[in-house]
Structure 1
Amino acid sequence: MRITLDKSLIAGRRLEVDANNGTQFIPLTADLAAKCGYSVDANPYGNSKIFASLLSCFSADREDKVFDMTLRLRMYNGHTSAVDMQEVSKTCRNQWVSREILCETNYMEVSVDRLPPEMDRSTQSLLNRHGSNVAPEKLDYALTPITSLKHIWKMVFQYGPSKEKPMFLNEARDAGYGVATSPSRLIIRSPYDAREVYTENVAGVPMKVFKVTTYFKEKWSVTMLDTAAVCPAGGLKFIEDRIIWTVPRHINPLLTSTTSETLEVHMGIDGKILTNAEMAAKGYVMSVSESHIVIELPIGGSDGFYKSRAVDNQYHITYIIKPMVEIVWREEDSDHLTRYKAFFPINTPLMRRPLVVINYTVPEEQMFDVLLGAFLEDVELVNITLQAGSLSVAQANVRGYNIQEQRLANGSKTFTLHVPFSDSAVFQSSPNPVTIVYTLPLVFGLLVKPEQSMFTHPVLLEAVLQLAALPTVTGSCDEGYYHVTVEYGGQGKYFKTMLGKRELTSVLAEEYGLTENSTHMSFAVPFLAPDAVVSLVQSTAVRGRLDLVFWDPFNNRRISDFSLGCTFPMAMIECFSNGTMTALAVKAESVTSLIPSQLTLKDPSCPPIFSNDRFAYFSFDVNRCGTTRKFFDGFMIYENEICLAHGNARKYSKTTDLDYCLTVSCYYIINETQQIVLNTNSQTITHGVEIGIGELPVRIRLATDISYSTFYSNEDYPVHKHLRHPLYFEVELVDSTDPHIELVLKNCWATLGGERLSTPSWDLVVDGCENFEDNLHTTLHPVTRDTRVQFPSHIKRFDFKMFAFVNDTLGVTDQIFVHCDTVLCDSIKHDYGECSSQCVGLPTIKSVKRGSRGTGQAPQSKSYISSGPVKLSNLLLAGL
């Protein structure tokens, strides 16, 4: 019976078994295991196997056919505190033969039939004769054969050809023997080192032998049973990478006749019998001759494992495997069978494994980097010994040594150790002015589990550092990066590099794309990286600087430095036609205490939509967050401030005795862009002020009817209309969300050609008013809010009837184009400039014939728009 655990029962853990249904736990010592029929195998990889005889002390026997075992295992660390409790169960069936012999790792066991066949017949006859009138004492006698445990009188052990030693039952048990009976069998176990066990050579193979005759006495009769067990004690050879195990085919001490018939021969591993196919797949070979059974096993096979050994303070390994042989035979002139099962744990001879020490130390890194290995899983590094004393692994790591265990793919492991050159255990010497030698003598203390055997390995570490000339640095910039190249010079890289306040570590080097060889290293740093500083924020650019410092770690001194200053283009403010502004406030080195996330617009409830420790990014509508509006001749400026705020009150943080505040502005014109520069408050720290430029598009569209709900698209032009048919035009400020802007229609006119200044032309709207000199005059329509119109002040509508130009050369023409000048005004305050004209319902200027129109140019500050051509359908001269 085999039970596998997922825990290794290694040294320092104590195993207990439940001996009485949870009421009594007994430590499973080596003596108890041998006496009761248990063996425990544990490998270094966290697995354990418990092998138990079917007839062990704590198994439940059901008529010698079914065996139930439940082990409640308590495992301890040390000797006091329980760390784990586990219950394992197993049920097995077995068909016994007359004699069963078991050779386990730590005990020999023999069991034989103890009930003569006639007993059952006599008991049945007694019950038939007396029935229920049988006296209890007579029934007990009939059901309890003389070979029961309580009838054992004495046991006589034979050791050697003529030596005997009688013992009573309690004496035999005290001597380490296990004696028990099952419903039909007598079981006797012996440890291999019992005094009465002797060695006998059988067919050239040493075997351990114990023989005992048990006497049962009941009043006038004595019954004796002979038992014996013989187990392998040798027969091993190791040839190159193979194990040869030889077992006698005929085990003479167990035979009472000169001949026997072998019925079955099997081999297995760990108690499991293998088929021929399984044996072939694993490289196992079993051959049976007239006198021997020979089993060949490869060293290193998967059914075994390697184990570490410490011998003479040297590291060795051995290969361990537990094969099994099973033989069933019948002696001459007998119907009784013997089943012989031998488990034979094999340890190969010790194999020396010299340890390898690899010194990966790079002197310029000022750190010893050493690897020791390789070891099996059952080896632990417990301490290192320096000249000043020993340190445990935990103590060494606290001191900064960084001892790590590295697992390898093949299941072995190594130990790595890092010791800084600055540690007090490291010795320094300078054989010449440009050379420094670092020396570290130490001893590794290692432990093999579970034996807890120690061994050591001394190491002398040495590193030579050649001092080099000063590094040479060159740098340049592009639109977004500082590019730096460092030439090591002399003996290579021996220095540390500081970028700003941080060391150029491997992580930072990867971030900045560092490449290097034996003489140079190059990397690129983004201009807004945390290791660069911003020195000045200008209108459309940022002035920054990258500082490098080179440090000699041995002398703990600064050896050189380098600064690279560059200007990078960067849009600080963007203005969008939909009335949205974005602004970026960048933290400069002059305001080191500034926290960008605390910046707000004039309205403190408008914080940045994103910020970090370098900048704050704002996005807002021009009619929110305290933005102010200024109107000039033909353009508008929206203006806000980015400052520090506290609660609902403006509060400025003092930096170098001045306030930090940044003015941002957007300049809008209709369909054009222009830049204008404003000055900021002279009492603020301004890191550049920019006026953003933007465009407010205006469009003109021809509606299909007076509802102004549908319009002709670009693909519909030219549009065909009958003479005198009304044309409904709409002029609209597109995308703006500022409700205080009013679109003012200054002048609209029609031309024969597509150019706005072409002739002939005819006025339709003059100074924002209808042209009353025209008998077919233009009509201006009011605009109200609806589902499509959100801001009525952004739209103007008018209509006039379709007409045709009369040209001296061409006669009556068949198409017209419509053009308009527009300006933007403040809807609340519009009594200035071109926003102040009023219509009183009377003609304001003299009309011009439709054959011609004045050609004066509109001011450049105004925007103009034009419609596509409208063609005259079914031209009738009589209608002109």
Structure 2
Amino acid sequence: MALDFCLGVTLLLSMWTTAKCDIPKEAIQMECHDRFFVIAVDLAFTGSNPHFEAVDESGVYAITKQSAAQCGYSIGVLPMLGHVELRASYFSCHTENKDDEVFTFNFNLVVAIEGKIATYALNKTCSPSLPWSPREVTCEVNYMEVSVKSEVTCPSETKKEDWNAALKSAYTSATSDWQVMLHGDERVLPMNLSEAHKRGYAFHLTDSRLVLRAPYGQPESFSAEVKGVPVEAVHATLFSRQSWVVLMVDLVAACSMHEGSYDNSGYMMWDTPEVLHPLMTSESETRVKIGVDGELVEKPVAEERGYIVEKYNGTLQISIPYNAEGAIRKSLVSGDLFEFYVFALYLEQMLFGEDQMDTRLRAHRTLATPLLPRPLYSENRTVPEQRMFTVYLGDVPEDVGLVAVHLNGQVFTVPFMNVSSHTITKVIHPNNTHGYTLKVSMADPIVRQQFSKEDGAMQHTLEINYTLTVLPEYEPFYHLASVMAFTDVSPPVFDAVCTESGISFKLDRRPFDYLWEITIGSDLLTSELADQHGYIMSTDSNSLLLEVPLFSHGFKSTEATLKGFFGTFEITMRDPETSEVQSSSVKTCPFSTTELIMCSTDGRLTVVADLSLAMPNGGNPTRTNLRDKYCGPKETDGTRALFSFPLNSCGSTVKLGKEYVTYENEIFFSKKLRALKNPADPINNIDRVTVQCTYPLSGLFRLFSVYKFESDLAGVGRILHSLQSTEGLRSPTMEPTSVTQSPVYTTRRTRRPVSMRPGYQPPAKYIKVSSFLKNLPKKKGTLQSKINPRMY
């Protein structure tokens, strides 16, 4: 335990002009004990260099290191407890003593606050709770003190030669004033008490007791080993001549100087002889009590706390668990983290002698352990399925704090600020320790990731360097931890929503999404592809947004009815090395429109057409048909009709170009019925509704087959109204080339090809095509520009 004593003499001179103030109650604690008075003042109030003064009727006296030991004071600055402590003997200098029963203490506490000296008056009156024994010995940390009843004369155990020498000297030199002989002095000459005081000794003659006090290490004291334990003692004979009678009193104080030890089983040990000096008592019964911080406890309580008192070969051995109740713990950095424990031992020995000269000995001793390793531990509590690193740093002492964390080399001060992907939480434990729970998202960019194809999993690695400090010195040290986790990885998944004009796809990017290619069909999704097909794409490091307009490339329309149809778009994720599709994001949305035409890959044309101009007044769409009068509508309403039929049926014609093929049919309202309904209405004023489907030849496998139609791509359809301009087209168009062949008619009633005009060959059943139709120009007035589809 470090002792910090005040020395300032010049400071004392400046204090005469300072004002005395009242100290805050929460900053000070004053207590009366059985044999001493104690003051504890918070260091947060006093600062690092507080000073004490003793005050009595004659003046104010600075307590210095030398005067403290001579006058019965011990002062210690205890940073581990956060206070400065003064202990004063009941027989200390400048203490008002009334009948050895009431003791009044007056002190000044002097502190420097913001460069100014402030003085606080402290006073307390105490009465001992136990009666005084015939002999009382106190072994303080810096002095020895003995007091005896004043009527007690020399004990019978005094050595004959010592007694004779003292007696002879007393008779020849004794006066009415008290004199003293110090037996450690080779000359053993008597001296008055003033001379003894100059040599560092203090003598007090109270109403009922004689007191001797001496600092350790006096020239007249002697050291020896008693039962193998080092002991220091001081022996003085006090005498006075009253007329023809000489009064002589032997005063002996002896203290164990054992420094204490520490064994591997975790005990601090301290030894003292049962009898420290022959003049203190004879070999007889000894009773022992132990405690901490000046408080003694009974044997059952001591045993419950783990204290052990053993007697062997005339020696008492006190064993205390290093972390027992009352021990003071402190962390220290010396490369790694260490700790040591300090125990303020308080011991009482009651020695019962045959001469009824009972002795009570009380000792204050500070025991300390050596530096003990104090390793922290880290525990990986990560659950990979949660995709969150959870690491616990535990067994952190209460005087150690976390100030920063390095995550894969990037430093974050504690507490974390404005960071959502990782957190640090302090966890308090009842055993005066605490811990920290660190959580870091595996998706955080600071986490290192590496994909293992062999394991089919993503390896996440986080190197952690905790920076901690020991308080209050703020000594830094470091604790390293490394955690790793494997997680199954899956291809990206888009979130899709339906819009009025198409489908919108959104992807929240993950660090490992680079393991897959995002494709539309077989084409890699790039900004160039998006521009080519009319997609609207925006992307950043966090997300990808793709808006797919209705009827754009890759958009599939199905389940058409008069109410509307369903549009589907698919985004695929492929292995970049094998091009194998790993997963896909598909979204189907319902749309509504006035007119619609769809050309499927399996050779079916589906059309919803507005027939309001194709029918005479009062006409019924159910009476319409295709070129083949047996091919009627599947659904109708007041003005519209739905037809769905194979391309090579219902009287369709085929127009073959160099790079494409177009199937065409018409929707009729019976001429006869038209004439009956309105004879005056010329036939030419009736709208002719033509429907077409155009396919690239490169995508066809079996052309003009009456058995099967196969195409890689859906065809491009259009609806032509004869009474409208070309802006009435109802679907995306593919412009035909200038060279065509004459129509080839097919119906559902015959499967044989119809003869063509001379000079033309009938269509081949299988045609090999070497060219590929790309980027055909579009006319104004296509379905995209004319139709305003809406959701239903």
| TM-score normalised according to structure 2 size | 0.44
Which structure shows the higher strand fraction?
A: 1
| TM-score normalised according to structure 1 size | 0.40
